[in-house]
Amino acid sequence: MVDVIELKDWIAYAEEDLGSAKLLLKAKKSFFSAVCFHAQQCSEKYLKALLILKDFDFPKTHDLVTLDSLCNQNGILTGFDKQKLADLTKYAVQTRYPGSQPTSEESQEAINIAIEIRKFTRSYLGLKK
């Protein structure tokens, strides 16, 4: 049986991550790593919300391709671009450490992907966009 409270919690946290990403992108200082991290987290939480709807116990993973595949296996045919999901997945960990940091363009693309996942999920769940 679907735990509605848990589902709402995942959605609320996904919204918080997307809001954070958008605010950080507009900041005077560049916080591109944080923008990409929060965009990835938003996407991950929305995909997990879809799996909760199907009462599916998903693995503890940040891999958006895996989560999307599980959605598809459970009858939620998302149609998301696997390469975009793979690109976004790397921000779950890569951006948490020094090294190759995302650009402004990559940050905007990360948010665009998160918005696409958000739009699909909210529509699927019958929520306001």
Report the share of the chain in percent with pLDDT over 90: 88
8 A C-beta contact, residue 31 and residue 103: no
pLDDT at 96: 75
pLDDT at 61: 97
Structural tokens at position 50 = 């879809």
Nearest to 81, CA basis, from 55, 116, 50: 116
pLDDT at 111: 98
Residues of the chain with pLDDT under 50: none
Superfamily of domain 4-124: Nucleotidyltransferases  domain 2 (1.20.120.330)
pLDDT at 2: 81
The domains of the chain are located at 4-124
pLDDT at 94: 81
Q: What is the pTM of this model?
A: 0.94
